[in-house]
Amino acid sequence: MALNLFDRGAPFDEEELANRYRHILSPEDRDRLPAYAALCDALAESRTALELLGAVQARQQNPTLILAILHYLALTGHLVLGPLYGELHEGHPVTPEAFARSVIEVLEAEPALLRRQLWRSTQTNEPNRSAVLAAAIGDVARTLGHSQITLIDVGTSMGFNLFPDHVTVLDRDQGDDAALVTECFTPGFVRSPVPFIGRRVGLDQNLLHPTKTDDVAWLTACLWPEESRRLRRFTALLEQMKQWPEPVRVAGNAVDLIDYEVTFDDTPTYVINSWVLAYFSLEERAQWRNTMDYHFAEREDLVWISMEHPSINDTLRFPEAPKNVPRPGASEIVVTSSFYPSIHWGWSHPHGHWFSVDSGPKA
């Protein structure tokens, strides 16, 4: 008999939640991460895992939260999960199905451990997205003639993506743990440099800080343990961040905060978001679009670069995405500015492993 963990009063759709677990990884990532793919499939079959996800507030009802909590428990010393995840951290070969079974056994035996962490929010703020965002920012700035900008990151988490001008971007891994690696699928695309960033502003309802031990542990837990290189990059960039300029960090709802930030001064202002608008309600997305349109009409030097799944873009009055998706599960990059309507700029892997450039505001 399934354990009734949560007396929520309202039923939830088990099949819908199971499908969230099954499809949280793109086909490309399922091939790269067999242990995590097996775990996602096993979570979809676990009544306890469904009840845990069903108990999460609607805004955060995403399987990545459950995956992150399990990883967090491993990182903070769980006697069974710690060694299991440690094998993945070290890149040791594991049997995917055996790994998944062992994790599910812990989840079903100790669900209260996970339940105590359901208040958290997933906040990967993947640093490697900066490799793609830097290309888009540089391309737009070159076209519009912007040599200095203000950068506002919506859903900034710890703020890694506020520094596209400070990171090293390579097209292949050369052994530097701190370097971002991304492959451009578009022949002949030439990167333009990121303009000077005078002011950096991060907006987030749940700000994380690089000096806080639990914040670092939680953001580490939001990474996927099978990606050893990604974990090393996080650690290396965290160390580098100590030498970077201190950004402005503002806690709160971005819809409420953006008015002040985009009118702070007359410097060309670039607003970026990457995999964050999925956490906005439909009403908040509509309000966000209306607010941005108001400011586009009020000033001539505002740019918005959005990197989200196409299903989210449908609710933002963006043009229909092209059908030429390089790989399933890609994020769409859309550029909107005071001079141009929303334009499809290109595609990207959700974590920035690759990108392509299809169009955009070109000179």
Q: How confident is the model at residue 6 (pLDDT cuts 50, 70, 90)?
A: very low
In tens, the pLDDT along 289-324 reads: 999 999 999 999 999 999 999 988 888 999 999 988
Q: What pLDDT is attached to residue 12? A: 66
pLDDT digits 0-9 by tens, 37-59: 999 999 999 999 999 999 998 87
pLDDT at 26: 87
pLDDT of residue 339: 81
**Tokens of residue 167, six digits:** 């990171």
Per mean pLDDT, which range of 1-10, 178-187, 312-321 is the poorest?
1-10
C-alpha span between 74 and 156 (Å, rounded): 25
Question: Which of helix, strand or coil describes residue 7?
Answer: coil
- Residue 213 clears pLDDT 70, i.e. is over it: yes
Name the percent of the chain lying above pLDDT 70. Answer: 95
Q: Mean pLDDT, the chain, as a whole number?
A: 92
Residue 363: pLDDT band with limits 50, 70, 90 = very low
List of domains in the chain? 14-115 (no CATH), 129-357 (3.40.50)
**Structure tokens that stand for 41 in this block:** 């499939």
Helix (H) or strand (E) run with residue 306 in it: strand 302-308
Reported as a single tens digit per residue, the pLDDT across 11-41 is: 568 899 999 999 999 898 999 999 999 999 9
CA–CA separation, 18 vs 163, rounded Å?
A: 37
pLDDT at 190 exceeding the cut of 70: yes
Query: 362: pLDDT confidence band, cut at 50, 70 and 90?
Result: very low
Determine the pLDDT at residue 9. Answer: 38
Q: How far apart are alpha carbons 296 and 339 in whole angstroms?
A: 8
The string of pLDDT tens digits covering residues 76-127 is 999 999 999 999 999 899 999 999 999 999 999 999 999 999 999 887 678 9
Please, which pLDDT band fits residue 337 given cuts at 50, 70 and 90? very high
What is the spatial distance between Cα 104 and Cα 145, in angstroms, rounded to a whole number?
54
Q: Write down the H helix ranges in the chain.
A: 14-23, 27-32, 34-44, 47-54, 63-75, 81-89, 96-109, 111-115, 129-144, 213-221, 228-241, 254-262, 282-298, 310-313
- Report DSSP state, residue 70: H
Give the confidence band of 3 by pLDDT, cuts at 50, 70, 90: very low
pLDDT for 124-157, tens place per residue? 678 999 999 999 999 999 999 999 999 999 999 9
